[in-house]
Amino acid sequence: MEAFLRTPLRFHATRLQFEDGPEGHASLSLDAEDGGPDAAVFSMTQEDPHGNEPYAGLVRLWWSDGRDGRDESVLRIASASIEPGRFELAFLDPSEDATGPYTHVDVTFDEVSPAELRGARRALAQLLAGLPPRWMGARRRTGPPVLDLVAARGNTWVVAAGEQVELRLTLTNRGGPMDGEVGFELEGAGVGFLDACTIAVGEQTASFAPTAEVPRATLRLHLDADLAIDRQITPGAPLTPSLDLAVRLVAGGTGEAWLAIRVFSVRARARRPGSYGRLLVVTSPTSEPQR
């Protein structure tokens, strides 16, 4: 049974055929053309979207590894790609009846022209057109949260002495669920310019004590666990779970120095905290603050 969990149908094809016709009749086929009945083959066609079955990425499949095989299995595909010399595919719900011992397909093939490769990609895109987005069904991450801070667009840290300014940040979570106390700490020489500083999420507000050795504030927050996906290869996936923060501060004197805000789960403090900082520029009261 363990071998079934990650077993590819693997062979080298000497022929690549495809059709990207209208009305949902795309097809793609790779086979080791040796003229014998035991040639390995993988072929699939798109189910008619106007048929009786609900159309949601269904394909009709034929395959053989030269010894075992299946004809006209109807199933769904999780993902597939075709690159120069290589075709890869993963079944959404592999079963003995439909896919035998195989969970995915990894077929190399002889070199084809750029035009043929483009045509094969068009056919594959049509075959996958009914699939749910790749991220649907992805599990949520487990374990401790992985918190970080990013700046909202247009955020600048230039303040006029004696006037309150609001710095807009976003708290993100790329790890497991966050439900509890989140700690925030100020660091850097810029802390020396601060007369007052608070942090707010929605209706919750907490104050830092700028004179403390390590100015700290805590808020009780909830953030969902992130999806266990790589967003660089998963277009259209939901954004990382996040909350908008408002840091309101009043600075005194004039000058500039680095100011950073660290964030961490109080319960999982052992993890490396996220951090975001910028150069804090404190101008005279007559200067117009930039936000």
Query: Which part of the chain is CATH 2.60.40.10?
Result: 147-283
Mean pLDDT of 79-98: 89
Residue 229 has a pLDDT of 84
Average pLDDT of the chain, as a whole number: 85
Instruction: Return the higher-pLDDT residue of 136 and 5.
Output: 136
- pLDDT-derived band at 263 (thresholds 50, 70, 90) equals very high
* Confidence band of 79 (pLDDT split at 50, 70, 90): confident
Q: Token digits for 38?
A: 């035991």
Tell me the whole-structure pTM to 2 decimals.
0.57
CB crowding 55-79: b at 16 or more within 10 Å, else e? eebbbbbbbbbeeebbeebebebbe
Mean pLDDT computed over 49-67: 70
d(CA 4, CA 226): 29
Bigger pLDDT: 249 vs 24: 249
pLDDT higher at 56 or 21:
21
Please tell me the CATH code under which domain 147-283 is placed: 2.60.40.10
* Averaged pLDDT for residues 234-244: 84
Q: State the distance between the two ends of the chain, measured CA to CA, in whole angstroms.
A: 60
Query: 134 to each of 75, 139, 243, 283, how far by Cα in Å?
Result: 16, 12, 25, 50
> Distance between CA atoms of 267 and 253, rounded to whole angstroms?
37
Instruction: Rank 142-151, 233-242, 265-274 by mean pLDDT and report only the highest.
Output: 142-151
